[in-house]
Structure 1
Amino acid sequence: MRVLLYVLFVYHGANGLIMLADPGLWYANVPDVEHTGPLNVHFVRDIGFGFIAAALALFLAARREAGDAVIWPAAAFLGGHAGLHLAEMALHGIAPLAAVRDFLIIVVPGLAPLAIALAPRNVTKEART
C-alpha cells in the first residue's frame, strides 16, 4: 500500500506542479480540456494547489508519521474530482476511447486514495510502523 501511495504522490504532485509552473503547457497537453472553455491561468493554478495539497497528504500517509486520517483530505479532493468526471461522462456522454483514457488517467488514480482509506486494516499499529 505504501508504494502505491508514493506513486500516487508523484503522479498527482507532478500534475499540480505543472499546473502551477506552466498552466499553458498543462492546458495544451491535457486531452479534451479545451471543451471546458478557454484557458483560465488563475483557475488552473488554484486547482494545481489542490493537487499539491492532496499529494502532500498522500506522501504523509505513505510515511505513516501523521496517522491514517491524513489520507482523507486527498481522498476527498481526488475522489471528488474523479466522481465529477464520472458524472459528466454519464450525463454528457463520451467517446469510448476517451472514456477509457479518462478512466485510466483520472478516475482510477483519483479513487485510489479513497479505496485505500476505506480498506480494512488487518494489522496492528505496531506491525505497520
Structure 2
Amino acid sequence: MRLLFVLLSVYHGLNGLFMLAMPEAWYAAVPGVVDTGPANAHFIRDIGLGFLASAAALWLAAKTGGTAVLVPALVFLGGHAGLHLVEMITHGTTPAAALRDTLVILVPGFLPFCALLGRAGATPAGRAA
C-alpha cells in the first residue's frame, strides 16, 4: 500500500511541477489538451498546485500509514478522474483517447480511493487504520 502511495505521489507530483514550471510546454505535451481550447498559464498552474497538494497527501499517507491525510488527494484526484469519466460518457470519446485517459487520469485518480476502501475492508472493525 505504501509503495502504491509513493508511486502515485511521484507521478502526480512530477505532473504538478511540470504544470507550474512550464505551463505552455505541459499544454503542448499532453495529448488531447490542445483540443480543449487555448492555453491559460495561470489556470494550468492553479491545477498544478492541486496535483502537488495531492502528491503531498499521498506522500504523507505512505510515510505515516495514516489515511485521514488522503482526503485532499481523494477530493482532487478522484474528482478530476470522475469529471473526465462523466465527460467521456456524455460527450463520447475515441477508443484511443478512452484508453489514454483511463491509463493516465482515471486509474491514477481513483487508485487512492480504491486503496482506502481496500484498507478499510482489511481491518477487523472495518475502519481505516
TM-score of the pair, normalised by structure 2? 0.91
Tell me which residue corresponds to 2:91: 92
1:31-90 deviation per Cα after TM superposition (whole angstroms, max 9, x unaligned): 11112110000000000000000000000000016x220011101100000000000000
- Indicate yes or no: 2:48 matched with 1:43: no
The amino acid of 1:113's aligned partner reads: P
Aligned to 2:3: 3
Provide the residue aligned with 2:77 in structure 1: 78
Question: 1:123 deviation in Å?
Answer: 5.2
| Identity among equivalent pairs (%) | 58
Aligned match of 1:111? 110
Kept in 2, the 8 Å contact 1:23–1:45? The answer is yes
Partner residue in 2 for 1:14 = 14
CA shift at 1:121, angstroms? 5.1
1:89 and 1:52 map into 2 onto residues whose CA distance is: 25
State how many pairs are aligned: 124
Unaligned runs of at least 5 residues, structure 1: 125-129
Alignment partners' CA distance in 2, 1:82 and 1:123: 27
SS in 2 for 1:39: coil
Q: Tell me, yes or no, if the aligned pair for 1:89 and 1:99 is still in contact at 8 Å.
A: yes
